Amino acid sequence: MQPQSPLSLSHSAAPVTTTASLLKPLAFATRMAFSGMLMVGFAGHAYAEEVAELPAVQVSADQSRVLSRPYAGGQVARGGRLGLLGNADAMKSPFSISSYTSQAIQDQQAATVADVLAKDASVRASQTGGVVDSFFIRGFPIGEGNLGEVALDGLYGVAPNYRVFTEYAERVEVIKGPAALLYGMSPNSGVGGVINVVPKRALAQDLTRFTADYASDTQGGGHLDVSRRFGTDEQFGVRFNGSHHQGDTAVDKQTRTADVGALSLDYQGERFKATLDLISQQEEFDAPSRPFLVAAGVAVPSAPDGQNNVTQQWAWSKIDDRSALLRTEYELSDKLALFANVGAAHTEVSRLSDQTPTILNAAGDTTATPMHFKFDIERFTADAGARARFDTGPVRHAVTLQASTYRDQLARGSTSGTAVLSNIYSPVDSPSQNVSAPSTVPKVSETTLSGVALADTLSMLDERLQLMVGVRRQQVESDNFNATTGAVTSSYDKSAVTPLFGIVFKPWEKVSLYANRIEGLSKGDIAPATASNSGEVFAPYKSKQYEVGVKIDHGGLMTTVSAFQITKPSGQLTNGVFAVDAEQRNRGLEFNVAGEVAKSVRLFAGVTLLDAELTKTNSSATRGKEPVGVPSVQANLNAEWDTPWLSGLTLTGGVAYTGKQYVNQANTQSLPSWTKVDVGTRYRTKIDGKPTTFRAGVQNVFNRDYWSGVASYSTLSQGAPRTLQLSATVDF
């Protein structure tokens, strides 16, 4: 059976009967807020130049301490959020963390989280440029299904489901490796790492910022960012971000319209703190890009021109996301704080397009069946707990106790059209098909993930030695339903315990040696009807990571070297019996540099070397082979130079390399390695006293034709063509 595309995968999910009703007014509210903020914003006055170059990031004392003095001209933060443990300084964390600030997002002209993470050598996008962004982190897939795996402010189930835009992002963070204790089980069972988006909050200084931007072919728009604080002690904060973009993209026949409205409210009292984030995001495509399958026995043909689009010009896609997240914290004393958080998200999808085109031969001929899909996805998350600090002799403790729940529900309906033929090198336009919308959108799955976690960070020797220990008990309950009758076709109810052990030792002030042993969780299988043990329910699969590394803080520069091993088990059918006896093992080395290496010269560079292997399978054709979509080498080199001849002018450039990737487990089909070069420039100045920044960039400057990546279910994506990006930002 051929794998399906990301928007047609069936995954377990859970009932959230109130989510849609809670979020329905959000789109209207954010549009009204957009209009009001325009009037408030443009009535503002000029602000200091520092606001444009290095905006303050957070209002809470804990976060400001962690994120002060960022590296690389304000583009890389010095720490990130460790799930239930809150923010942590990277030098005091036993994990590998990358944290990209809003300054980096602006300077990169990144539209989505996938664009931001293109700089990270440990991360590769397995699919971008269409209606879904998905990733590999340390060689394991993230975000490939219908349940979003990007966290928002430390919680799953709130961020937009398929693509996360950057207008409302203060930071985009990546914790590399399994993190079941820190974040709980990932909704789609991802174990390679966690991507977390920290939303923008009101700044200490008033801000009214407008950005106009353009991308080839004729994709243009604007983004308004307004921040205000109110009250006697400025304890009330409001941050609004709104944007609109539309026009033709660099891909043939393709047009895109996107609207974002994000409102962030916060209260910072002496003891009580609260934040409320509301996000409304809509994206529409005509002729949306789709990933390809390759027929069995056919070698992957050379990549076509990145502008080519086999999707029919009458195809379209619409995705509407609405999200809400309320976080609260009350300090009973300087040593004890209580917290409670609740969030919900609702996603509606309507799409008529060629279902995953299959490449039939070396000539690049394809066949695809147009399908009219409708999806309705509801998610809900909540947690509560306590944080305590106390000493036992010379040992300082920071203890967190958390109880959490996550629920999701997936409904899906579809109707099929008639197969169309095309070619990746010479796309063929076929007559428009009137494929009717599905008459119903039945519930197909629901899941509840609940758990209790306890963690303690022990600090000794004036914080030169820190131990992090913890344990989480995770309960997984899910049901799958017959789309026609509504009857339960399979049911799952299992639990697992995942521990954490991490250690950081600082032999010198600027050097940290660290190690961790942490686990990830994936939903266990149910033995299929063809097995002699049909119906047997297996416990959640535990992925295990062992990692050691060293971090060096050179002042304006941080270097990290780490070595890791991750093993992920899975089930398989052997001689009529289904058992958990398959395994993938990824071993790797990571080298990363971020910051100023010389006066006016900054580097963001990294190399990831992966030795990935299917160590256990039931077939000699796949045992010992490399997993799908995992290259042996990933490398990035991004540099910036502030020119001496013109103050405010910066030249930028980047090179990305990805090694050979296999498309199937037997390693008989593969994608060749590829290298992509980007260049750009920006100029900071003042016009009429207003801080202003002009940016220009060219992605894939040599217009290289390449297959950018392959998903774990063997679909491959086309690399983007040469794309020009222009923007201008003004602080009023």
**Residues 622-653: tens digit of each pLDDT:** 999 999 999 999 999 999 999 999 999 999 99
Alpha-carbon distances, residue 190 vs 138, 507, 636, 662, 723 (angstroms): 11, 35, 24, 20, 31
- Expressed in angstroms, the distance from the first to the final Cα of the chain is 57
- For 523-673, where are the E strands, in sequence order? 541-553, 557-574, 577-598, 601-616, 633-642, 649-658, 661-662, 670-671
Euclidean distance between CA atoms 151 and 55, whole angstroms: 23
Q: What pLDDT does 128 receive?
A: 66
Residues in the chain, pLDDT under 70: 1-69, 72, 128-129
pLDDT, tens only, 360-412: 999 999 999 999 999 999 999 999 999 999 999 999 999 999 999 999 999 99
**pTM listed for this prediction:** 0.90
Strand-strand pairing, 420-423 and 365-368: antiparallel
Classify residue 644 by burial, with Cβ atoms within 10 Å: 0-12, 13-18, 19+.
exposed
Segment holding 115, helix H or strand E: helix 113-117
Percentage of the chain with pLDDT > 90? 77
Task: Please provide residue 575's backbone torsions phi and psi, each rounded to the nearest 5 degrees.
Answer: 55, 40
H helix intervals, 210-254: none
Q: What pLDDT does 580 receive?
A: 86
Nearby residues of 236 by Cβ (< 8 Å), 6 or more positions away: 229, 230, 265, 266, 267
Residue 284 near residue 316, CB atoms below 8 Å: yes
Strand-strand pairing, 193-199 and 150-152: parallel
Q: Count of alpha carbons within 13 Å of 618, Cβ hemisphere only?
A: 13
Q: What pLDDT does 72 receive?
A: 65
72: tokens are 């690389």
Q: What pLDDT does 75 receive?
A: 87
Q: Is 83 left (phi over 0), alpha (psi -120 to 50) or beta?
A: left
Q: What pLDDT does 69 receive?
A: 64
Q: What pLDDT does 6 receive?
A: 36
Q: What pLDDT does 54 receive?
A: 36
